[in-house]
Structure 1
Amino acid sequence: MSASLLEIVDLGDGEIVLQHADDDSEPLVTIRFSDESRMYMMENSLEVAKAMIQAGIQAVAVLAEQGEAEAEASPESPRILH
């Protein structure tokens, strides 16, 4: 994935998206909050979405590190995904 500027946009209908700032492509991530959850969060749904996106990015980084470590530990064994 090429480096580009990303933005988090609150669409105002309970949906918050992470998208490329410089084009009109499909959002990378969509978070949709129900009316009930938006009432519970009051005006903080954007902050919650930011935290969710950050946690997802951190999880991907950890998984990537684990995958690299496994690849270094056994470079000759094939990886099989069922």
Structure 2
Amino acid sequence: MSASLLEIVDLGDGEIVLQPADEGSEPLLTIRFSEASQRHMMDNCLEVAKVMIQAGIEAVALLADDEEQGFETGSYTEASRTLH
């Protein structure tokens, strides 16, 4: 994927998208909050979405770093898995 400017857009209906800043581009990621979760977060959905996106980017960077160092992502044993 080529480097481009990305923007986070709150569509106002509980849906937040990450998309290229280029007009007409399709969203890369969509986060949809239910009405109940919107009420619970008290209008902080955009901030929560930003943290979720940042966590995803960091996770991908860590996985890419592991792969560069020769770790095989499929080589973990059952005992090393953590269920969340």
Q: Same fold (TM over 0.5)?
A: yes
Aligned residue pairs total 71
CA distance in 1, matches of 2:62, 2:23: 29
- Secondary structure of 1:23's partner? coil
CA distance in 1, matches of 2:56, 2:65: 14
Offset at residue 18 of structure 1 (A): 0.2
Residue aligning to 1:42: 42
For structure 1, list consecutive stretches of 5 or more residues without a partner in the other structure: 72-82
1:8-27 alignment, distance < 5 Å: 8-27=8-27
> What's the TM-score, normalizing by structure 1?
0.83
> What's the TM-score, normalizing by structure 2?
0.81
- Aligned residue type for 1:63: L
Residue aligning to 1:77: none
Identity of aligned residues (%): 72
- Aligned residue type for 2:69: A
1:1-82 alignment, distance < 5 Å: 1-70=1-70
Offset at residue 23 of structure 1 (A): 2.6
- Secondary structure of 2:25's partner? coil
Larger radius of gyration: 1
Residue aligning to 2:79: none
Offset at residue 56 of structure 1 (A): 0.1
Runs of 4+ in 1 over 4 A off after TM superposition: none
